[in-house]
Amino acid sequence: DGDVYKYYADGEWKKSTSGKSVSIINPTTRKPQYKVQACSQEEVNKVMDSAKSAQKSWAKTPLWKRAELLHKAAAILKEHKAAIAECLVKEIAKPAKDAVTEVVRSGDLVSYCAEEGVRILGEGKFLVSDSFPGNERTKYCLTSKIPLGVILAIPPFNYPVNLAVSKIAPALIAGNSIVLKPPTQGAVAALHMVHCFHLAGFPKGLISCVTGKGSEIGDFLTMHPGVNCISFTGGDTGIAISKKAGMIPLQMELGGKDACIVLEDADLDLVAANIIKGGFSYSGQRCTAVKVVLVIESVADALVEKVNAKVAKLSVGAPEDDSDITPVVSESSANFIEGLVNDAKQKGATFCQEYKREGNLIWPLLLDNVRPDMRIAWEEPFGPVLPVIRINSVEEGIHHCNASNFGLQGCVFTKDINKAMLISDAMESGTIQINSAPARGPDHFPFQGIKDSGIGSQGITNSINMMTKIKTTVINLP
Ligand code: G3H
């Protein structure tokens, strides 16, 4: 069946023997756009075997050669940006310009990773024994970083390319092999990205990409004994994975309810611009999106007015037209968002705009006077709907932020750097941005969530380190 995109294993594009496929629904047209193979468990087993044997020789490949191949893949990825971006537009309704940006950013990430890898993996430590009580200087300890083995990478729909390479490149530079399970929405963009790595000439079996139904191969992959590390980005599934996975390192980036605390002295124009960018870019479908605004009552009216003026200017429509607000990824996602909106309506939130939805397209909506009894005060819509909670003190804002199950990022707006630092320290989140909206990038910055927002830290350097293990050799002198 020529219409079904093949999966990638052993350096080849293959049809699944299951004879089954999975349809990818275009969020804009709500019609099937592409089909991918529904791989079987048997195929996963084969991929794991090849990944294991390819990794053994890859680990012995000189570091500079691994880096060279990654640089090559990065360049090819950038050359193919238009074709990959087109898939992102059709599969996940990412606005056209943002789709291109995602691919370029991914190429840069791969190159940076190659450079960082040769530096940090190119050095180890030397320790002597006589610093510890009771020891003579008779033991010399040498440390180096060795790969973990087979890394299972599971990126989410919102960055199927970027959040795939942010796992693939650190894994490869560190001498690991990769089994990629792309999200269904975004699978074809991911397959195109894998093709760029194929063209770069990585050894057979080192990189595999299996597509299919989570119900068939999801648990099978995450619980597979051949997997030595899981790097996952997504939602609640990550919590389930962490409970089922074996004794292996996990890197998890899950949801967020990033709070934006606004003080009386804040530059309200700057805040409004960041609320728009932070809350509404890619229609709010980012784990780092601003998901609740906590504003001091005395400046709330002025801020809401400024944000509303900017919301009115957002274009709403198709991703092909590069609209600011595009259809959310699926009908079930749109229904979920609508549920949160209805709940807020029933409980008396102020609607700054009329709620409007056509298919999966939801118009941007600011909800003012949201109270803690409303679901939207705590749950992440992953859509263009943003709650505003008016607070009477900074403490109230910090309390709301810390009462959340999530703790990914947060931000605080004030001209007083001393206050900002104290608030940053008090907010229980992985990163606090002072005077800017939350964001993961630049991609070499550490990126981590606490509580239900994740396990471990990402960012290029941390990911490389996380995908290695320390090995020591001790020379014992007579
Ligand atoms: O959706 C989760 C991403 O890690 C957020 O990345 O801040 O670059 O949009 P971003």
Which residues contact residue 137 at a Cβ distance below 8 angstroms, ignoring those fewer than 6 apart?
128, 129, 130, 477
**CA 47 – ligand 1 centroid, Å:** 29
Q: Is the pLDDT of residue 449 over 60?
A: yes
Q: How does DSSP classify residue 215?
A: I
Q: 51 CA distance to ligand 1 centroid (A)?
A: 28
**Cβ atoms of residues 300 and 268 within 8 Å:** no
Q: Residue 18: what are its φ and ψ, rounded to 5°?
A: -65, -25
C-alpha 106 to ligand 1 mean position (Å)? 12
Q: Is the pLDDT of residue 173 over 80?
A: yes
| Cα(376) to centroid(ligand 1), Å | 20
Ligand 1 atom closest to the Cα of residue 281 is 9
List the catalytic residue out of 43, 102, 253, 379. 253
Secondary structure class of 433 (helix, strand, coil): strand
pLDDT digits (tens, 9 = 90+) for 62-103: 999 999 999 999 999 999 999 999 999 999 999 999 999 999
What H or E segment, with its residue span, contains residue 464? helix 460-466
Known catalytic residue at 287: yes
Q: What is the pLDDT of residues 282-305, one digit of tens each?
A: 999 999 999 999 999 999 999 999
Cα 436 to chain center, whole Å? 19
Pocket mutation for ligand 1, best pick of 88, 102, 158, 411 (most atoms within 8 Å of C-beta): 158
What's the CA-to-centroid distance between 439 and ligand 1, angstroms? 6
Most distant pair of Cα atoms in the chain: their distance: 82
Selecting among 39, 113, 287, 352, the annotated active-site residue is 287
The stretch 357-377 carries a mean pLDDT of 98
Q: pLDDT at position 147, please?
A: 98
Find out whether 313 and 306 touch, Cβ atoms under 8 Å: no
pLDDT of residue 231: 98
Q: How far is the CA of 355 from the centre of ligand 1 (A)?
A: 26
Q: Please state the atom number of ligand 1 nearest to the C-alpha of residue 438.
A: 7
| pLDDT at residue 390, rounded to an integer | 98
What is the rounded distance in angstroms from the CA atom of residue 211 to the CA atom of residue 188?
9
Residue 288 in contact with ligand 1 by CB distance below 6 A? yes
Q: Is the CB of 441 under 6 A from ligand 1?
A: yes
- For the segment 219-252, what is each residue's pLDDT rounded down to a tens digit? 999 999 999 999 999 999 999 999 999 999 999 9
Q: Which of 440, 447, 458 to mutate to test the pocket of ligand 1 (most atoms within 8 A of CB)?
A: 440
- Stated length of the chain: 478
pLDDT surpassing 70 at residue 212 = yes
Write the DSSP symbol of residue 377. Answer: G
- Please provide the DSSP assignment of 87-108 as one string: HHHHHH---HHHHHHHHHHHHH
Query: Token match 């087109």: residue?
Result: 86
Q: Is the CB of 94 under 6 A from ligand 1?
A: no
Ligand 1 contacts CB of residue 167 (under 6 A): no
Nearest residue to 380 via CA among 454, 448, 284:
284
Query: Does the C-beta of 158 come closer than 6 Å to ligand 1?
Result: yes
**Is the CB of 439 within 6 Å of ligand 1?**
yes
Mean pLDDT in residue range 161-173: 98
Over residues 294-346, the pLDDT tens digits come to: 999 999 999 999 999 999 999 999 999 999 999 999 999 999 999 999 999 99
The yes-or-no verdict on residue 456 having pLDDT over 60 is: yes
Helix axis angle for 96-120 and 162-173, nearest 10°, is 10
Q: Looking at the CA of residue 441, tell me the nearest atom of ligand 1.
A: 8
Could you give the ipTM of this predicted complex? 0.97
What mean pLDDT comes out for the span 257-282? 98
pLDDT digits (tens, 9 = 90+) for 183-200: 999 999 999 999 999 999
**C-beta atoms surrounding 330 within 10 Å:** 18
pLDDT at 478: 94
Tell me the best of 159, 251, 254, 429 to mutate to test the pocket of ligand 1, counting ligand atoms within 8 Å of each CB and taking the most: 159
Please state the atom number of ligand 1 nearest to the C-alpha of residue 282: 9
Between vectors from CA 22 to CA 21 and to CA 28, what angle results, nearest 5°?
140
Atom 2 of ligand 1, residue of closest alpha carbon = 287
Atom of ligand 1 nearest to the CA of 443: 8
* Ligand 1 pocket member 440 (CB < 6 A): yes
Q: How far is CA 144 from the centre of its chain?
A: 29
Would you say the CB of residue 254 lies under 6 angstroms from ligand 1? no
Give the count of beta carbons closer than 10 Å to the beta carbon of residue 176. 24
Q: So what's the pLDDT on residue 2? A: 57
Averaged confidence pLDDT in the chain: 98
Give the Å distance between the CA of 325 and the centre of ligand 1: 17
Q: Which of 286, 329, 447, 458 to mutate to test the pocket of ligand 1 (most atoms within 8 A of CB)?
A: 286
Residue 424: both structure tokens together: 């940053």
